[in-house]
């Protein structure tokens, strides 16, 4: 299955335009291109490794994906476009930073909600403990 996806991807790679449209950003080169390549690749999951990012993995698939990221950045595609390009091929599984969408939004909301509840509880507790003092 994964091999099939990779094969498909190889075919698609030249015309990313038909999937995510024309490039929205500025074409990068040189050191800036290398830096952005690593940054964007660190947001993508290597599909054949165990939890490693494309930036970190030495596997062939990851190296290919990194090369694609580099090429797309050089052609002026934005991070968002590149991520959705890979998401089309591999599904949400490939995104290491889950999108704020559907069920997945919960992973962002729950800790914040917990923090909110925690702050309320702690301030209530503090007030209660301070009140004892006033009596």
Cβ atoms within 10 Å, residue 71: 16
Nearest residue (CB) to other proteins, 4 versus 132: 132
Q: Which residue lies nearer to other proteins by CB, 7 or 119?
A: 119
Residue carrying structure tokens 């698939």: 61
Least distance in angstroms from the C-beta of 66 to other proteins:
9
Burial class (CB in 10 A: 0-12, 13-18, 19+), 29: exposed
How far is the C-alpha of 52 from the C-alpha of 35, rounded, in Å? 19
Decide if 42 contacts 54 (C-beta within 8 A): yes
Between 14 and 51, name the residue whose CB sits nearer to other proteins.
Answer: 51
Shortest distance, CB of residue 109 to other proteins, whole angstroms? 10
Minimal distance in Å, beta carbon 12 to other proteins?
A: 21
Residues forming the site for other proteins (CB under 8 A) = 34, 38, 42-43, 45, 50-53, 56-59, 63, 91-98, 102-104, 106-107, 110-111, 114-115, 118-119, 122-123, 125-126, 129-130, 132-133
Whichever of 14 and 58 has its CB closer to other proteins, that residue is 58
- Nearby residues of 70 by Cβ (< 8 Å), 6 or more positions away: 33, 34, 37
């Amino acid at each position: 299955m994964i091999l099939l996806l990779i094969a498909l991807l190889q075919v698609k790679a030249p015309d990313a335009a038909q999937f995510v449209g024309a490039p929205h950003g500025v074409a990068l080169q040189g050191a800036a291109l290398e830096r952005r390549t690593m940054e964007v690749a660190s947001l993508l999951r290597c599909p054949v490794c165990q939890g490693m990012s494309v930036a970190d993995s030495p596997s062939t698939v990851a190296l290919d994906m990194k090369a694609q990221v580099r090429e797309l950045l050089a052609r002026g595609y934005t991070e968002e476009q590149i991520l959705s390009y890979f998401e089309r091929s591999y599904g949400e599984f490939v995104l290491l930073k889950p999108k704020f969408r559907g069920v997945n939004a919960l992973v962002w909301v729950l800790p914040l909600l917990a923090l909110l509840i925690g702050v309320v509880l702690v301030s209530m507790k503090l007030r209660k403990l301070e009140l004892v003092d006033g009596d």
